[in-house]
A and B are shown apart, each in its own frame.
Chain A
Amino acid sequence: MKDGHDQDPPLVRLDAAELHFPVGGVVAQLQGRATVVKAVDGVTFELRRGESVGLLGESGCGKTSTGRMLVRLDKATGGRVEFDGEDVSGLTGDALKRFRSRVQLIFQNPFEALNPRFTIRDVLAEPLENARIPRAEHEERILRAMALVKLGDAGQFMDRYPHQLSGGQLQRIVMARALILEPEFVVADEPVSMLDVSVRAGVLNVFRDVRAQQGITAIYISHDLALVRYVCERTIVMYLGRIVEDGPTEDIVANPLHPYTQALVAAVPVPHPDQSHAPLPIGRGAPDPRNPPSGCTFRDRCPRAFDRCAVEAPGPTYVQNRIVHCHLHEPKT
């Protein structure tokens, strides 16, 4: 973010990061028909220590791929991904091990994220073992992590198996496991989308409060702006592998600048009867990531597209406290 006084170096930095996947089999490659899907196509942003940032977009926009690069589940195929000043792609051996204890991922589906044959105690001890934390400290750290996620009566859960817990309890265990090594950076990928509404709020509250208390830097990946707004002060909106808008969440909700963000904000249903049923300001048709439009990839659905949008991909424009990638917002020259 252009903020003027960001004297601290960023904790996380993406510089034109790319994640391209080849598609098509061997035959297609031999025939020269193989193409690439640009899941992430030149994404640049920085995270300051202690920031919580939402990565928002529709399925296929590259938000999960970006998250996977950040924790190095996937290596960037171009550009740079830095954590604490180091190129993440180059990490090996002990440096990679250290990275893995400083950075954690919280998965979407708590019902699949835990080994069904492990008791909750085993689930939580595993990362401690991997990080060679002395056995004597395990019990205390497990109890502390469980208190952190508000599973107060820890003794009641320790010897149970995942299938004996409810979804909300499981997702808290998943969070406790991610937090037990006291990471500096957490990437949470739609952590409540599999949970029922009545328990969702509890898990979100835990995530938000623990993050703030411990000063953890966090990326919250979601397609739901209402949830992102609840846990993130800043939001990065993605479309087809690229960033379209980046700024304070409240400003984006109140006054979205990019035409795509405008449609996204207008599309969020609200839980009370008096709401607009006006048609969305966006064309139909889902984009094909294998064959994105030239220039601005949003132009074929954009109600305000003009000649230039087909020719040239818009670069970043700073508007007030935001970055917008849209020709409409570029200064007139």
Chain B
Amino acid sequence: MTQPLLTLKDLSIAYRVGDQDTIAVEGASFDVQPGSIVGLVGESGCGKTTLARSLTRVLAGNARIAGGEAIFDGRDIMALSERAMNGLRWREIAFIPQSAMNSLDPVYTVGTQLAEVLIRRGGLGRSAARTRAEELFEWVGIETNRLGDYPHQFSGGMRQRVAIALALALDPKLIIADEPVTALDVIVQRQILDQLRELKERLGISVILVTHDISVVAYVCDRVVVMYAGRVVETGPMAATLTAPAHPYTMGLRNAFPDLASAAGELTPIEGAPPDLASPPPGCRFAPRCPFAEARCRTDVPGLDIYDGDHLAACHRIAEAETLRARAVASETWEAPA
């Protein structure tokens, strides 16, 4: 395997609320290979957005890195000075937010905003910036005559393309995209996802795609990292993780998702709700909702173990994953947690 572009080692992030620390991300470890799309999946509050934002070091004022490192191209992002980090942003690591409206300034044309990044951050001359801006618009499928338009003159899908063009401006190696298609209609969503795949293939860019939608993961990702209540519970190649999940949470997510390509089947919810991270349960945090939980699950925290090659899961019953998968398919299994 080639050298990873990014390696997270035991990364923890805490929020200070009142006089108490709440650990939003705890001991996250995974790799991002060059030229790959990694899906970071989980429900609201699982820490996926906090984790993604920490990689650009843009965190809320009450958040801090509580431990671990994130090695990007040989440097620990978390240990860089603010100045060094500033040098990395846009040039090496770029960010696409959920709503592009939040990243675009309504009073400047999109061309002006692109030029600003290219000239001030990229050191390009005015005419070189103009050429580059046109090239970027062509890449993301917007007509170049729209460079003179203001953000409000674009539809939601087109604005998201503008945000992608901005992120690509200085040829970054890694793009962090936080739910980039969640607010969009299915057709536009598909076109944006196709765009991301194409950029990966043509430019060799890596993408960390934060999403709650495993269909989106199935469509574009090479690998997947599943988070639950602040911890990574499963990670592996996309196809293996979705077809043969080793963690009961991932198994449950699969049952809860409608699938247009199969016969109309029953959807099964995962009963209960994720724990309050201010006072998480001991042991495995999924145990209170897990139909397969045993006594040790409620006391001992399971580590991320090898399930098969580079497919890992944090479950005490990982050795029985195949049996559990077979049981997880039946909706009765999920009715009353053990």
Q: Could you tell me the distance in whole angstroms from the C-beta of B197 to the nearest C-beta in chain A? A: 7
* B residues in contact with A279, CB < 8 Å: 194
Query: Could you list which residues of chain B lie within 8 angstroms of chain A, going by C-beta atoms?
Result: 43-44, 141, 155-158, 185-191, 193-194, 197, 212-216, 218-219, 238-239, 242-243, 252-262, 264, 266-271, 273
What is the CA–CA distance of A229 and B157 in the complex, to the nearest angstrom? 25
Contact of A168 with B273 in the complex, beta carbons under 8 Å: yes
What is the CA–CA distance of A203 and B273 in the complex, to the nearest angstrom? 13
Instruction: Determine if A196 is an interface residue (Cβ-Cβ < 8 Å).
Output: yes
Binds B, one of A10-18, A46-54, A268-276: A268-276
Contact of B271 with A202 in the complex, beta carbons under 8 Å: yes
What is the CA–CA distance of A286 and B191 in the complex, to the nearest angstrom? 12
Among residues of A, the one whose C-beta sits closest to the C-beta of B262 is A270
Binds B, one of A93-101, A179-187, A220-228: A220-228
A252-285: CB near B (< 8 Å → 1, else 0) gives 0100000000011101111111010101101010
* B residues in contact with A205, CB < 8 Å: 266-267, 269
Q: Interface extent on A, as a size class?
A: 35 or more
* A residues in contact with B264, CB < 8 Å: 229-230, 250
What is the CA–CA distance of A273 and B252 in the complex, to the nearest angstrom? 17
Q: A263-B187, A267-B187 are in contact. List 10 more A-B contacts (CB 8 A).
A: A197-B212, A200-B267, A205-B269, A229-B264, A253-B260, A267-B189, A269-B190, A271-B257, A273-B239, A275-B261
Q: Could you tell me the distance in whole angstroms from the C-beta of A271 to the nearest C-beta in chain B? A: 5
Give A174-232 interface residues, CB cut-off 8 Å to B.
196-205, 223-227, 229-230
Q: Could you tell me the distance in whole angstroms from the C-beta of A245 to the nearest C-beta in chain B? A: 15
What is the CA–CA distance of A322 and B264 in the complex, to the nearest angstrom? 20
Contact of A199 with B187 in the complex, beta carbons under 8 Å: no
* B residues in contact with A82, CB < 8 Å: none
Among residues of B, the one whose C-beta sits closest to the C-beta of A199 is B269
Q: Could you tell me the distance in whole angstroms from the C-beta of A4 to the nearest C-beta in chain B? A: 25
* Cβ-neighbour of A277 out of B197, B215, B243, B258 (below 8 A): B197
* Cβ-neighbour of B259 out of A196, A223, A271, A282 (below 8 A): A271
Q: Could you tell me the distance in whole angstroms from the C-beta of A268 to the nearest C-beta in chain B? A: 5
* Cβ-neighbour of B269 out of A202, A225, A268, A286 (below 8 A): A202
Among residues of A, the one whose C-beta sits closest to the C-beta of B266 is A205
Contacts A205-B269, A286-B188 known; A269 to B258 CB distance under 8 Å?
A: no
20 contacts between A and B (CB under 8 A): A58-B187, A168-B269, A168-B273, A198-B43, A198-B252, A198-B269, A199-B270, A199-B273, A200-B256, A201-B255, A204-B267, A223-B185, A250-B264, A267-B186, A267-B187, A272-B242, A273-B243, A277-B197, A284-B141, A284-B191
What is the CA–CA distance of A196 and B187 in the complex, to the nearest angstrom? 22
Contact of A197 with B43 in the complex, beta carbons under 8 Å: yes
Instruction: Determine if A59 is an interface residue (Cβ-Cβ < 8 Å).
Output: yes
* B residues in contact with A271, CB < 8 Å: 214-215, 218, 242, 254, 257, 259
Contact of A226 with B259 in the complex, beta carbons under 8 Å: yes
Instruction: Determine if A166 is an interface residue (Cβ-Cβ < 8 Å).
Output: yes
Contact of B186 with A197 in the complex, beta carbons under 8 Å: no
Among residues of A, the one whose C-beta sits closest to the C-beta of B237 is A273
Q: Could you tell me the distance in whole angstroms from the C-beta of A41 to the nearest C-beta in chain B? A: 19
Contact of B243 with A272 in the complex, beta carbons under 8 Å: yes
Contact of B219 with A200 in the complex, beta carbons under 8 Å: no
Q: Could you tell me the distance in whole angstroms from the C-beta of B17 to the nearest C-beta in chain A? A: 16
* A residues in contact with B216, CB < 8 Å: 269
Among residues of B, the one whose C-beta sits closest to the C-beta of A286 is B155
Among residues of A, the one whose C-beta sits closest to the C-beta of B221 is A273
* Cβ-neighbour of B258 out of A168, A203, A223, A230 (below 8 A): A230
Contact of B43 with A201 in the complex, beta carbons under 8 Å: no
What is the CA–CA distance of A230 and B214 in the complex, to the nearest angstrom? 18
Contact of A280 with B267 in the complex, beta carbons under 8 Å: no
What is the CA–CA distance of A149 and B125 in the complex, to the nearest angstrom? 63
Among residues of A, the one whose C-beta sits closest to the C-beta of B267 is A201
* Cβ-neighbour of A264 out of B141, B187, B239, B256 (below 8 A): B187
Among residues of A, the one whose C-beta sits closest to the C-beta of B212 is A197
What is the CA–CA distance of A279 and B198 in the complex, to the nearest angstrom? 12
Contacts A197-B212, A198-B43 known; A280 to B190 CB distance under 8 Å?
A: yes
Contact of A273 with B185 in the complex, beta carbons under 8 Å: no
Contact of B267 with A267 in the complex, beta carbons under 8 Å: no
Contact of B185 with A270 in the complex, beta carbons under 8 Å: no
* B residues in contact with A253, CB < 8 Å: 260
What is the CA–CA distance of A135 and B213 in the complex, to the nearest angstrom? 45
Contact of B260 with A225 in the complex, beta carbons under 8 Å: yes
What is the CA–CA distance of A58 and B157 in the complex, to the nearest angstrom? 12
Give A149-163 interface residues, CB cut-off 8 Å to B.
none
Contacts A197-B253, A272-B259 known; A277 to B187 CB distance under 8 Å?
A: no
Among residues of B, the one whose C-beta sits closest to the C-beta of A260 is B187
Most buried by A among B157, B185, B191, B259: B185
* B residues in contact with A204, CB < 8 Å: 267
* A residues in contact with B253, CB < 8 Å: 197-198
What is the CA–CA distance of A270 and B216 in the complex, to the nearest angstrom? 8
Contacts A201-B256, A201-B267, A270-B260 known; A224 to B186 CB distance under 8 Å?
A: yes
What is the CA–CA distance of A59 and B187 in the complex, to the nearest angstrom? 11
* B residues in contact with A225, CB < 8 Å: 186, 260
Contact of B186 with A223 in the complex, beta carbons under 8 Å: yes
Among residues of A, the one whose C-beta sits closest to the C-beta of B185 is A58
What is the CA–CA distance of A214 and B253 in the complex, to the nearest angstrom? 30
* Cβ-neighbour of A229 out of B155, B186, B258 (below 8 A): B258
Most buried by B among A196, A199, A204, A223: A196
What is the CA–CA distance of A196 and B261 in the complex, to the nearest angstrom? 22
Closest 4 pairs between A and B when the two form their complex, measured CB to CB: A202-B269, A269-B215, A226-B258, A201-B267
